[in-house]
Structure 1
Amino acid sequence: MSGRQTSFADYGTLPSALLWDGGLLFIPLWVVTEITLDQTFHLPAIGSSGLRAIAPVADATVRLRGLLVGPERFAWKMALEMQAEAAQRGSAAAALTGALAGAVGAPGLAVGGLVLATSMTIRTDMQVKQLTFTATSARREALDVSMTLEHLPRPSPLGKLLDVASLGVGALADFG
């Protein structure tokens, strides 16, 4: 470990997860100890119409557990809190992709909420449902963080495209 990394945990080159609002605020989560992806699939109504095909057929919840380490841990804590609150009002991703999608005449490509990138999945349209921070005497210079994010997608083909892209990200992380 270099001199700057004074925590017992190594947070070197690549973060385990990245939470992005679509604008300038990237929050790297360096030490993620657990990622859980829960998906609930909806059964279609008997005799449902073709319009059902464009509606989301699954709900997804992502839970992350990890550490905010080093002297920046309080800044990352505040950034996570600010980002969670700001996403409730509309993220930079929603404004940017909405404007771009409208300009090219493809409203189905707009996203909202936060973007979560991990080796397991890349999800747009995420909202922070719960954030928990814990400080213990056993972990100096670290805050335990756990968060629950809900996937609240707009009907669009972009979500499936990003799921396919996450396969490549996962493969790169395995070889990195």
Structure 2
Amino acid sequence: MADKVLVGTVPLLCVQSITMTEGYRVERILGSRFSQATQPSAKTIVIDAILLGPDRFKVKKDLENLALTSRALLAAAAPALAVTGIPVVCGLTLSLDMQITDLRFTQSVQKRDAFDLSITLQHVPRSSLTALLGELADLALAPGSAALPGVPAPGPVPRSPGPSL
């Protein structure tokens, strides 16, 4: 499982995967045959998680409210979101100005007491200042995450000749 993830004010504890996709605008350099990536044009984060326990209904409703509420009402509920949009905080990134574009909840026979969650967020910058603050926060996260311990190395598996087929 991946680390814990905070989407706005909603904690996701059983995250299975996080995928971040960044697109870049490529433009031709004037008077040249060369091209250059000038700026990010799209940033999307997809989080797959499992909502467990009796709190799963509350987390589901909180995510729906976060996705449906207008920015003005959202800012009234959580004043920090008036400046930054929906922040996403995890081991992969610290991204500000995100907006929920897709929510998918699945309940199956195999997991009656859990919901599978897939949430898609897209970067919608409010201003160049908050975009810059988000990039600086993401850069500040990089050295700190390198100091965290990683997954331990797998133990050796003894091998012995088995029966031939």
Give the TM-score normalised by the residue count of structure 1.
0.68
Higher helix share: 1
Could you tell me which amino acid in structure 2 is paired with residue 19 of structure 1?
V
Asked whether the 8 Å contact 1:17–1:29 carries over to 2, the reply is yes
1:1-176 to 2 correspondences below 5 Å = 16-20=4-8, 26-44=9-27, 46-47=29-30, 57-86=40-69, 88-89=71-72, 91-92=74-75, 96=80, 111-153=83-125, 154-156=127-129, 157-168=132-143, 170-171=145-146, 174=149
CA 1:89–1:18 in 2, change beyond 3 Å: closer, same or farther? same
Higher Cα Rg: structure 1 or 2? Answer: 2
Relative contact order higher in (CA < 8 Å, ≥ 6 apart):
1
Give 1:159 deviation, angstroms.
1.9
CA 1:166–1:46 in 2, change beyond 3 Å: closer, same or farther? same
CA 1:92–1:36 in 2, change beyond 3 Å: closer, same or farther? same
Please say which of residues 27-36 and 151-160 is displaced more in the overlay.
Answer: 151-160
Please say which of residues 83-92 and 123-132 is displaced more in the overlay.
Answer: 83-92
Could you tell me which amino acid in structure 1 is paired with residue 94 of structure 2?
I
Asked whether the 8 Å contact 2:106–2:116 carries over to 1, the reply is yes
- Could you list the per-position Cα deviations for residues 81-120 of structure 1 after superposition, in whole angstroms to 9, with x for gaps in the alignment? 001112544643995477xxxxxxxxxxxx4310000100
Unaligned runs of 5+ in 2: 31-37, 152-165
Name the SS of the counterpart of 2:128 in structure 1. coil
Name the SS of the counterpart of 1:44 in structure 2. strand
Unaligned runs of 5+ in 1: 1-9, 21-25, 48-54, 99-110
How many correspondences in the alignment? 140
Higher strand share: 2
Taking only the aligned residue pairs, the percentage that are identical comes to 31
CA-based RMSD of the aligned residues comes to 3.0
